[in-house]
Structure 1
Amino acid sequence: MSALASCSLPEKEESNKETSTAEVYLQACKLVGVVPVSYFIRNLGAPTMSLSHHGLGPLGGKALAIALVSDMHINTLELADNYLLAEGAKYIVEMLRANFSIQYLVCIGHILMPFLALFYLGSVITCQAVGRRYIFFSSTSTANNEGLEALDLSWNHLRMKGAVAFCAGLKVNMTLKHLDLSWNGFGNEGALALGEALKFNNTLVHLDLCNNRITNEGVGMLCRGLEANDTLRVLLLAYNSLTVEGALALVNVVKNTPKSALEEINICNVLVNENFVQLLELTCQEHPSLEVQYGGVGGFIAKKPLKRPDPMKVIQDYLDQRKLRLWDFFRNIDKDGTMRVPVADFRKAVQQSSIPLDRYLIEELIQRLDRDRTGMVDYR
C-alpha cells in the first residue's frame, strides 16, 4: 500500500459533485492533524505554487500531497525549507507518480534530497545525509510522471557509500538525460560505481563530474563503462586529479569504441603531451564530432597528479606583494563591521579584484570559509 493510499478521504454520499482541491486539502489537514496553509488555498489555480519556508513538516507534506494527487493546474512546486524529512519526501514522491502536471520541483538539500533522488531514480536504497543546497528537478509532462529528465545534485557532499548508492539507482533508471554531479566527492570508488551504471544505462546524454576527486585510476574505471555505452554525448571531468595518463585513456576509449556517442570531453585543466595531440587527431578522423577541451601542451606522464594552487595562499601572496594585511582585505568588504560577510558579497569582491583566482578556486575558497553552508563568511 502506498504512503497516500493509507490516508484516503471519506466520500461525500450526499453529493456526486467532484470535491475541489481546497476541500480535499482541508479534509486532509483535519485528518492528519495539521493547520492548513492559507497561502496554498488562496493561490490554487496558479501555475506556480511557492510554499517555501512554511514549516509544513512531514504531516503537512502528507496533507499537501493528498490534495495535489488530482490537481492538474500547478506546473512548478517550491518546497524549500519545510523540514519534510524522508517521511515527507515519500508522500511527495507518491503524489508525483499520480500527478502529471507538475514539471518542476524545487526543494532543499539535506537528508530529504538523496532519499527523493534515489527513490525517483528507481532505487529505494537510503543514502547518507548531504549538504544544504537547492536542487532542481525537471521532468516532461507525459501521461505519467514516472521519471526525471534532468537532475542537479552538485555541491551535495555525495561521496563513498552515498555515491555508490546513488549509482545503483542510476543503473536501472530509464529516463534521466542530464545529470550534474559536480563539486561532490565521488572519488575513485564513485567512479567505479558510475562505470558500472554506464554499462546498463542507455538514456543519459550529459554527465558533469567536475571537481570530484577522481584520479587517473578512477578514469580508467569510468572508461570500462564508456566502452559499453552508446548514448553519453557530453562528459565533463575538469578539475579532477588527472594527468596525461587519464587524458589518453579517455581519448583511447572513444577511438576503440566505434559505437561511442561522445562528442564533448572537458578536461580543461589537464596539460597534455604531443602523443595525446596525435592520438586526438587520429581519433577525430573516425569521430569527427568529437571535441576535447584540455589545458594545453606541456604535460608529462607522471605518477603524482599536478597540484592545484591553494586559494588562501594565492590571496596571501597577492596581499604580501602589495604590503597589505588579510584583515584589511576583509574589512574592505565588511562595510557593517560585523566580521561576517555574505557569501555573495565576498564572491563579488574577489571577482572584481585583481587577485588571480578563477571561478573554481573562488568556489573552493567559499566552501572552505563557509563549511556549514550558512551563506556567511565569518572571518573572526
Structure 2
Amino acid sequence: MSLTVVAEEEETETGLNPESETNKILKTFKARQKKEKEISSDDDSDDTDLELEEEKEEFDVTGRNQYLAVCKALGVIPSSYFLRHMQDSALSLRHHGIGSLGAKAISFPLMNNTTVISLDLQDNWLEGDGGESIARMLKENCYITELDISENRLGSKGAKSICNMLITNTTLKNINLSGNLFTDQDAGYFLEAFSENSRLKFVNLSHNEFSDHAAGVLGQAIAENETVEELDLSWNFLRRGSTLKLCEGIWSNCRLREINLAMNGFGDEGALAVAELLKRSTTLHVIDISFNRISQIGATAIGKALDQNDALRTLRIGHNPVGVVGAKEILKGVGYEHCVVSLLDLSGVEVDKEFREMKQALEETKEIQVIHGVVLSDYVIHVKPKKAKELLFGVPVSDVNPTNILQTIKKHCQEHEIRLGETFVGMDKKKLGSVTIQEFLQGLQSSGVEVQDSLASTLVNLLDDIAPENLINYSIFRGK
C-alpha cells in the first residue's frame, strides 16, 4: 500500500473533512497507484524476494510522498527546506512565508511524525486558518513538546483552535503565542485551556492586546492552573487597577516561578498590586516589571513588601521613574534579612553616591548583583561639560510632544528613505486605516527605525497620549 493511501485513511480517522478538495485528490492518487500496481503485478507474476524487499523500501516512512501529494492537491509549492529537515528533532521554519495553505500541507505528514520534538513556525503569516491546521495536527501528534507559533496573526480563530487543542494535548510543555493579535474577547479560551491542561510549563502571551477585562480572566486562569511555571505577559495593555485582578491569580498559584509583566504601563496602582503579590507569594522566583511608569510611591511599596518575602530571587524594575529615593527604598528592601534576591535590575534608573555606598555595603554581606543607571554627583568640579542632548528621531527629546510626534517620525523616515506607510498597510489586514500602539512599534522596528532603550518608555508615553482606544491613524505616513 502506498503512503498516500495511508495518509488518506489517517486523515479520515482524525476527523478531517472527507469531502475536502485535498481528500478528493488524494483518492485520485490512491486509485491511480492501485491501477499501476495491478498492471505491474500482471507483467511480473513471479515475485522474487528481492522484488518484495524493493516494494517495502518504496513505503516512505518520512511522509515525503504524503506531503508532496497534499501540496499538489492544494496548489502549494512544496518547501524544499521542509523536505530536507522534516526528520530533524528541532524543526525550524521561522520566516519561511508558509501561509495558511502551507501550514495545512505540512500538518499532514507531521501528524504521524515521531522525530520532531521542537517545532518553530515563527513569523509565517499563518493567520486563523493556518493556526487551526497546526492545532488539528497537535491533537494527533504525541511527540512535539515545544511549539513556537509567534507573530502569525492568529487572531480569535487561531486562539480558539489552539486553546481547544491544549485541552486535550498531553505532550506540549512550551508554547510561544507572542504577537498574535489576541484581545480581551479571546481571554476566555485561555481560561478553559489553562484549567484543563496538565502539561504546560512555559507560556508566552507577550505582544498581544490583552487589557483590563482580560486581566481578570487570565488571573482566574492562572489561579486554576497547576503546572505552568513561566508566564510572559509583557507588551500588553494591562493598566492600573486591572493588575490587581491578575496578581490575585498569581499569588493563588502554587507552581508559577517566573512572571514577566514588563511594558504594560500599569503605574503605581499596578505597583501596589505587585507589592501585595510579593507579600503573599511563596513560590515566585522571578518578576519583571520594567517599563511600567512606576514612581517613587510604587517603588517604596515594593521595597517594604520585600521584608515579607523569602522566595524571590530576581527583581527587574528598571526603566521606571522611581527616582533616587525610590531606588534606595528598593535597595533597602533587598537588604532585609529574610530577602533572598540575588539580582536587582534597576537599568536606566539614576542613583546617587549614597545608593552606591549602600550597594557596596550590601555586597559585602550578601551575594547579590545590582544593576543600575548612572551615579549622580552631589558636588560640582569647576564647570560641568554640557551633556549631549538625547535625540528622539533626530530631534531633542524636550522638543517632542504628543502634537508633533507623528510629524517628527514622518520627517525622520523621509530623510532616511524609509517607507513606513507601506509597512502599516501590510499590517492592517482589516483595512481600518489604523494600527495598535504595539503594531506601530513593531512596524518601526521591522522598518529599521531605531529607538534608544533609554527613550523607549518616552515614546510609548507619547503614543499612548495620542491613541484613542490604543489605535493610531497611519494616514500621515502614506502621503509625500
Give the alignment's TM-score, normalised by structure 1: 0.65
Is 2:272 the counterpart of 1:199? no
What is the aligned partner in structure 1 of residue 444 from structure 2? Answer: 343
2:353 aligns with one of 261, 269, 274 = 274
Percent identity of paired positions between Structure 1 and Structure 2: 20
Offset of residue 78 of structure 1: 2.3
Q: Which amino acid aligns with 2:167?
A: E
Distance 1:83 1:268, change over 3 A: closer
Distance 1:263 1:102, change over 3 A: closer
Is 2:323 the counterpart of 1:222? no
Is 2:426 the counterpart of 1:359? no
Q: Deviations over 1:321-349 (max 9, x none)?
A: xxxx9665322333569686852355x35
In the alignment, the residues of structure 2 paired with residue 149 and residue 90 of structure 1 have an alpha-carbon distance, to the nearest angstrom, of 18
Q: Which amino acid aligns with 1:343?
A: L
8 A Cα contact 2:313 2:342, kept in partner: yes
In the alignment, the residues of structure 2 paired with residue 283 and residue 188 of structure 1 have an alpha-carbon distance, to the nearest angstrom, of 27
What is the aligned partner in structure 1 of residue 293 from structure 2? Answer: 213
8 A Cα contact 2:139 2:165, kept in partner: no
What is the aligned partner in structure 1 of residue 147 from structure 2? Answer: 76
In the alignment, the residues of structure 1 paired with residue 172 and residue 18 of structure 2 have an alpha-carbon distance, to the nearest angstrom, of 21
Distance 1:39 1:268, change over 3 A: closer
What is the aligned partner in structure 2 of residue 298 from structure 1? Answer: 377
Offset of residue 28 of structure 1: 11
In the alignment, the residues of structure 2 paired with residue 279 and residue 234 of structure 1 have an alpha-carbon distance, to the nearest angstrom, of 19
In the alignment, the residues of structure 2 paired with residue 21 and residue 199 of structure 1 have an alpha-carbon distance, to the nearest angstrom, of 52
Offset of residue 102 of structure 1: 4.3
In the alignment, the residues of structure 1 paired with residue 445 and residue 473 of structure 2 have an alpha-carbon distance, to the nearest angstrom, of 8
Offset of residue 20 of structure 1: 5.6
What is the aligned partner in structure 2 of residue 314 from structure 1? Answer: 396
Is 2:327 the counterpart of 1:247? yes
8 A Cα contact 1:205 1:232, kept in partner: yes
In the alignment, the residues of structure 2 paired with residue 363 and residue 39 of structure 1 have an alpha-carbon distance, to the nearest angstrom, of 41
Offset of residue 292 of structure 1: 4.0
What is the aligned partner in structure 1 of residue 167 from structure 2? Answer: 94
Question: Matches of residues 42-81 of structure 1 in structure 2 within 5 Å?
Answer: 42-44=109-111, 45=113, 46-47=116-117, 48=119, 50=121, 53-56=126-129, 61=132, 68-69=138-139, 71-74=141-144, 75-76=146-147, 78=149, 80-81=152-153
Distance 1:310 1:156, change over 3 A: farther
Q: Which runs of 5+ in 2 are unaligned?
A: 1-8, 21-100, 197-204, 211-224, 380-388, 401-406, 425-442
Question: Matches of residues 115-126 of structure 1 in structure 2 within 5 Å?
Answer: 115=188
2:229 aligns with one of 132, 142, 149 = 149
Q: Which amino acid aligns with 1:329?
A: H
Offset of residue 37 of structure 1: 4.2
Offset of residue 195 of structure 1: 1.7
Question: Matches of residues 228-243 of structure 1 in structure 2 within 5 Å?
Answer: 228-243=308-323
What is the aligned partner in structure 2 of residue 5 from structure 1? Answer: none
Moved more, 218-227 or 42-51: 42-51
1:179 aligns with one of 251, 259, 262 = 259
Q: Which has the higher helix share?
A: 2
Distance 1:376 1:176, change over 3 A: farther
Q: Deviations over 1:37-67 (max 9, x none)?
A: 454223322442748625349xx85x97676
In the alignment, the residues of structure 1 paired with residue 350 and residue 107 of structure 2 have an alpha-carbon distance, to the nearest angstrom, of 54
8 A Cα contact 1:270 1:299, kept in partner: no
What is the aligned partner in structure 1 of residue 57 from structure 2? Answer: none
Q: Which has the higher contact order (CA 8 A, sep 6+)?
A: 1
Offset of residue 368 of structure 1: 5.3
8 A Cα contact 1:150 1:176, kept in partner: yes
In the alignment, the residues of structure 1 paired with residue 125 and residue 275 of structure 2 have an alpha-carbon distance, to the nearest angstrom, of 37
Q: Which SS does the other structure have where 1:250 is aligned?
A: helix
Distance 1:197 1:255, change over 3 A: same
Q: Deviations over 1:127-184 (max 9, x none)?
A: xx996479xxxxxxxxxx9533332222111112432222122112233333221111
Q: Which SS does the other structure have where 1:214 is aligned?
A: coil
What is the aligned partner in structure 2 of residue 163 from structure 1? Answer: 243
Moved more, 163-172 or 357-366: 357-366
In the alignment, the residues of structure 2 paired with residue 178 and residue 217 of structure 1 have an alpha-carbon distance, to the nearest angstrom, of 24
8 A Cα contact 1:122 1:173, kept in partner: no
Q: Which amino acid aligns with 1:43?
A: L
Q: Which amino acid aligns with 2:392?
A: P
Distance 1:94 1:29, change over 3 A: farther
Distance 1:336 1:285, change over 3 A: closer
1:329 aligns with one of 412, 416, 424 = 412
Offset of residue 253 of structure 1: 1.4
8 A Cα contact 2:247 2:277, kept in partner: yes
Offset of residue 246 of structure 1: 0.8
8 A Cα contact 1:270 1:296, kept in partner: no
Offset of residue 275 of structure 1: 2.8
8 A Cα contact 1:160 1:187, kept in partner: yes
In the alignment, the residues of structure 2 paired with residue 202 and residue 315 of structure 1 have an alpha-carbon distance, to the nearest angstrom, of 42
In the alignment, the residues of structure 1 paired with residue 461 and residue 324 of structure 2 have an alpha-carbon distance, to the nearest angstrom, of 28
1:24 aligns with one of 14, 18, 25 = 14
Distance 1:76 1:21, change over 3 A: farther
In the alignment, the residues of structure 1 paired with residue 156 and residue 18 of structure 2 have an alpha-carbon distance, to the nearest angstrom, of 16
Q: Deviations over 1:207-242 (max 9, x none)?
A: 211110111111222234322222222211112111
In the alignment, the residues of structure 2 paired with residue 105 and residue 199 of structure 1 have an alpha-carbon distance, to the nearest angstrom, of 30
Distance 1:146 1:49, change over 3 A: farther
8 A Cα contact 1:272 1:299, kept in partner: no
In the alignment, the residues of structure 1 paired with residue 18 and residue 304 of structure 2 have an alpha-carbon distance, to the nearest angstrom, of 50
Q: Which amino acid aligns with 1:330?
A: C
Q: Which runs of 5+ in 1 are unaligned?
A: 1-18, 124-128, 135-144, 301-307, 319-324, 352-356
